[in-house]
Chain A
């Protein structure tokens, strides 16, 4: 199984809503990532988890709250988002943080904030 599965594929939410994005992998990878991708732009790193601990936070606003409950699961909790937060949110995993191998990406969750 070489898949990273993200749910939901599409999400529409209001600025006062609370929602979550989920990411799951069963490849035994110990590094997991959240990227944000705006239209016609490259992915931008948001968070990195290594062995279920937050290793990198790229100065992301607190309305985005990541969580890594176990080695296979990564969540991104969303609260009080702004319309400019509308984007494709990509999850990725890698064997380990210090590994030079590829990142495996999910298909993304497309978020629209009204």
Chain B
């Protein structure tokens, strides 16, 4: 069985500060990992995905994530937070065979001026 754990249900940063959202995975097979963002009352939008190509993955809106097998981690970062980044962020894992996504519990990013 595969799963992801997101550390911290809420993360608060100041505008312009580094954003770091943590995700650790558990998978018996090489995982496919995703970060999605959800703005209030909206669906989910893909930020980036890891599918065993490059370990450093760049996504939209200046976000990136690094796949670290030794740490079973796929943390999401952004060098400088913007007010518009305030949203819920979900890490998700998919196994190769069934291709259904298993989501983490989510992290709410709060950005203060």
A binding-site residues for B, Cβ under 8 Å: 4, 6, 31, 33, 40-43, 45, 48, 56, 90, 92, 94, 97-108, 110
Contacts and interface: CB of A to CB of B under 8 A. Distances in A.
Contact of B43 (A48, A102, A106): A106
A45 B100 contact: yes
Contacts of B17: none
Given A92-B44, A100-B99, A107-B41, 6 more contacts: A40-B106, A41-B105, A48-B100, A103-B44, A104-B46, A105-B36
A40 B10 CA distance: 11
A42 B104 contact: yes
19 contacts: A41-B106, A42-B90, A43-B44, A43-B90, A45-B100, A45-B101, A48-B100, A90-B43, A94-B99, A99-B99, A100-B96, A101-B49, A102-B34, A102-B46, A103-B46, A104-B46, A106-B43, A108-B43, A110-B41
Interface string B86-107: 0000100010101111011110
Nearest to B34: A102
A100 to B, nearest CB: 5
Interface of B: 32, 34, 36, 41-46, 49, 51, 90, 94, 96, 98-101, 103-106
B63 to A, nearest CB: 14
B41 A100 contact: no
Nearest to B90: A42
Contact of A56 (B100, B104, B105): B100
B47 to A, nearest CB: 10
B104 A107 contact: no
A42 B105 contact: yes
Given A42-B90, A42-B106, A103 B41 contact: no
Contacts of A43: 44, 90, 103
B42 A107 contact: yes
B89 to A, nearest CB: 11
Nearest to A104: B46
Contacts of A100: 32, 51, 94, 96, 99
Contacts of B41: 107-108, 110
